[in-house]
């Protein structure tokens, strides 16, 4: 009996040893079977992949990102610098071998009465166009902000003048303002105003040019003002309505102080653009009658292209650039102060 028990015990021990040794044999046959990832799992990311990129390439990445900006800046500064260089010579069609003249071109400009006449016309045009467009644009924005059916329709129609090139708009208005066959005089004839010489007098030509500019760009101011109105907080207006404040008080004390930064952005854009106007005036009056509507941009064109005094015309452009730059600096600084005051209005 005891011998049979010992035999059974020995057999069981040998079976356990065989089972225990089976994984060892499998591990020996396939070293990655026990420790590798499950079947179908993605391979682990190589932690040294990023470190494999050379250091010089990693340090070069920030500079590659600014290459487009540098190319754009160079494309702007190179022609500007070349034009500034030409202004110290006397390049002209009649003088193929120019001489160095220094600041002589600028001295001639500031001592020429035609420059001051053009500067005065430019200021009148820019101030008049920007002022009328601002007033009309804000008024149109206030009407559209009421969300009536007429306002929603006009909001879609408002952008149509902006879709027309200014020079095309000026040509259309030139035909409409013709004294004999123009549609404007035809519509005014029943009121005894037919036959008006819109562009044949100095004052009429300037006012007609400003009117075309207003027709084209008032929607731009209106769209910016409307966007500003829709972004204003409603709580101050609700509190004013509860207190019984009237429309004029609300507009003067709440709407305009908070809306003025948006309006001033439109004024800056339009005033800067009006200072360097060329297309509308040239297509409508060509600077006439006489020199009554010759602004600085047209004066520079006449000197450089028509009279072929290239350096003198470029000097006009540099002077105009300086005027626009100084005006932009003043207006942008004023915009910063206006924004600070608008931020103090209780929201």
Q: 135-158 pLDDT, tens per residue?
A: 999 998 988 887 677 777 777 788
98-134 residue pLDDT tens = 899 999 999 999 999 999 999 999 999 999 999 999 9
Helices 310-343 and 256-275, interaxial angle, to 10°? 180
262-280 residue pLDDT tens = 999 999 999 999 999 999 9
Confidence bin at 258 (pLDDT 50/70/90): confident
What kind and span of H or E run contains 105? helix 104-110
45, two tokens: 């990311």
Does residue 38 register a pLDDT over 60? no
Does residue 236 register a pLDDT over 70? yes
Strand, helix or coil at 34?
A: coil
Name the phi and psi angles at 95, rounded to 5: -135, 85
Task: Say what the pLDDT of residue 325 is.
Answer: 92
Mean pLDDT of 157-177: 89
Task: Say what the pLDDT of residue 230 is.
Answer: 87
Mean pLDDT of 75-83: 92
Task: Say what the pLDDT of residue 212 is.
Answer: 95
- Rg for the chain, CA atoms, rounded: 38
304, two tokens: 């450089």
Task: Say what the pLDDT of residue 6 is.
Answer: 45
280-316 residue pLDDT tens = 999 999 888 988 999 999 999 999 999 999 999 999 9
Full-model pTM: 0.78
């Amino acid at each position: 009996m005891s011998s049979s028990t010992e035999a059974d015990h020995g057999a069981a021990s040998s079976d356990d040893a065989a089972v225990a040794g089976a994984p060892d044999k499998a591990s020996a046959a396939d070293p990655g079977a026990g420790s590798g990832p499950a079947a179908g799992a993605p391979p682990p990311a190589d932690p040294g992949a990023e470190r494999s990129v050379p250091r010089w390439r990693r340090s070069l990445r920030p500079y590659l990102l600014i290459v487009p900006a540098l190319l754009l800046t160079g494309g702007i500064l190179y022609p500007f610098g070349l034009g500034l260089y030409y202004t110290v010579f006397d390049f002209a069609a009649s003088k193929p071998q120019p001489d160095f003249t220094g600041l002589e071109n600028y001295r001639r400009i500031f001592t020429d009465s035609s420059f001051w006449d053009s500067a005065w016309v430019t200021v009148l045009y820019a101030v008049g166009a920007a002022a009328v467009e601002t007033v009309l644009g804000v008024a149109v924005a206030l009407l559209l902000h009421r969300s009536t059916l007429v306002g929603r329709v006009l909001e879609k129609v408002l952008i149509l003048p902006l879709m027309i090139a200014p020079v095309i708009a000026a040509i259309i208005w030139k035909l409409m303002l013709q004294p004999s066959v123009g549609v404007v005089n035809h519509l005014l004839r029943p009121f005894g105003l037919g036959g008006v010489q819109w562009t044949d007098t100095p004052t009429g030509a300037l006012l007609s040019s400003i009117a075309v500019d207003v027709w084209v760009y008032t929607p731009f101011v209106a769209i910016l003002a409307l966007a500003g109105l829709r972004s204003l907080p409603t709580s101050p207006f609700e509190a004013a309505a509860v207190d019984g404040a009237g429309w004029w008080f609300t507009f003067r004390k709440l709407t305009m102080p908070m809306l003025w930064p948006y309006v001033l952005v439109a004024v800056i854009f339009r005033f800067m653009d009006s200072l360097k106007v060329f297309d509308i005036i040239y297509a409508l009056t060509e600077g006439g009658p006489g020199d009554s509507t010759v602004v600085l941009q047209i004066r520079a064109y006449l000197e450089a292209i028509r009279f072929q005094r290239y350096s003198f015309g470029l000097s006009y452009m540099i002077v105009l650039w300086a005027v626009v730059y100084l005006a932009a600096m003043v207006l942008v600084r004023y915009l910063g102060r206006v924004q600070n005051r608008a931020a103090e209005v209780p929201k």
